[in-house]
A and B are shown apart, each in its own frame.
Chain A
Amino acid sequence: MSYTYSKTERTFEYINDGEPFYYRWDRPHQFKMQFTWQAQTWLTINMSAMFMSGNVYTVPTGQYLTTDNKLVYDFTSKNNYRMPNYKRFDIGFTKEIKPYYNRGYREFWGLQVYNAFGFMNPINARWDVNTSGKLTLIGTTPFVFIPSGFYRLEF
């Protein structure tokens, strides 16, 4: 189990009017749990859960006209929006193949599911009109959950 508090800022002369701004991947609070259970000598089950502050993203707050009379977005500052809290739960197992054979090498296979509960963790935000015609902020979550498998040879 771990908890981390961190703060990451950037300052550039020509970005954000020279003012400091949160780094894109700034997450002040990070709480993580890791659980590994050797159910049998040939079977290991692992789970991990994390709950973190959302990272930051630049969201337009208004619009204005450019010199060539086109509407563009106005951003009050860089990385001005904190995304929703990040939640994830991963689960998987590792099984040894023929564990009781002394063959000079060992084989394993396993399955993992990343974000098994399918929590929505949007990576960006944009304005769009929803089905009721209201302008709302929409977040996009790619790859909601990712199953994976592996084979490992140890010698």
Chain B
Amino acid sequence: MKKNFWFLGLLLSLVFTACETELDDSSIKYRKRLVVNSFVNSDDLFSVHVSNTIPMSDTVYPDPIENATVIVNDGSQDYTLTYNLGLSKYLANFKPVAGKQYTVRVSAVDFVSAEGTMTLPNKLNSPKSTWQDQTGFDENGFETGTLTCYIADPRDERNYYEINLYRFDDFTQEWLIMQPNTTDPFLNQNAAKTDLGGLLIDDRTFNGGNRKFDFITSFGSAGNAYKYLVEVRSLSDEYYRYLQSLANYRKTSGLFSDPTPIYSNITNGRGICAGASIQRDTIQ
């Protein structure tokens, strides 16, 4: 009988053992392409980061390409960007304007030229965010507060938002991102989380309306000063897709899941050309 159990055990272990084999990778060809990352907002100068794709075997980060030609067209005029060594980016001498479409063209020696287009979303005109102390208790009996942010959503268009919450740290004297804690069913069911710790939403349930979002702040989360920063970014369609795919890319794991490629709107290259209009409210 004992022998039979050993045999059964061996059989079951063979059944449930996954085997790994080396596969022929000769059909997989690495393509060296330009990587153009241009994420702009109306508060900062137009900037473009240019690098290239690297083979799978490389473990060192690719260096920025410093000798590329980067041209930005705003629909009426071409602007040639100059390389800023300190920032490792190509900088323009103008700030992007909300509602305008921009085309970024990048060419470099040994690379096929790459191109991307984006439109900067209009600025939000939402009511200022607020914070209220002593609005509830956590599971340990400590008092919690409520941080409220508002989105005044423009009518008749699909809009995308990223909400980032920060608290001021007394010790390090810097803003630290807070993980959003909310009981809002819309956020809990529909919002995707970004790498940074923000929330990504679209306006399909409140198109054209004013939407209020409440977040719970834990006891003492903002030190003695109780200083919070609420950042609502109105994202371009491309940037929303990019962040969504990045969130899905990070989530993908396991034996039976398919990898998720990251969204790119760069023709003949990789990366993203997108923009956001940012509304920041500081509460203290």
Contacts and interface: CB of A to CB of B under 8 A. Distances in A.
B20 interface: yes
B28 A140 contact: no
Contacts of A62: 30-33, 53-56
A107 B256 CA distance: 38
B51 to A, nearest CB: 5
Nearest to B264: A17
Interface residues of B, number: 50
A64 B52 contact: yes
Contacts of B261: 16, 58, 73, 75, 78
Given A64-B51, A64-B271, A141-B21, A124 B56 contact: no
A103 interface: no
A72 B56 contact: no
A137 B28 contact: yes
Contacts of A141: 18-21
Interface in B243-284: 246, 249, 255-256, 258-259, 261-263, 270-272
Given A64-B53, A64-B270, A139-B20, A145 B14 contact: yes
Nearest to B58: A63
Given A64-B271, A84-B24, A147-B11, A140 B18 contact: yes
Interface in A110-128: 120, 122-125, 127
Nearest to A134: B57
A76 B31 contact: yes
Interface residues of A, number: 49
Nearest to B11: A147
B39 A75 contact: no
B172 interface: no
A55 B271 CA distance: 29
Contacts of B139: none
Nearest to A58: B259
Interface string A75-117: 1101011111000000000000000000000000000000000
Interface of A: 14, 16, 24, 57-76, 78, 80-84, 120, 122-125, 127, 130, 135-147
Interface of B: 11, 14-25, 27-33, 35, 37, 39, 49, 51-58, 61-62, 195-196, 241-242, 246, 249, 255-256, 258-259, 261-263, 270-272
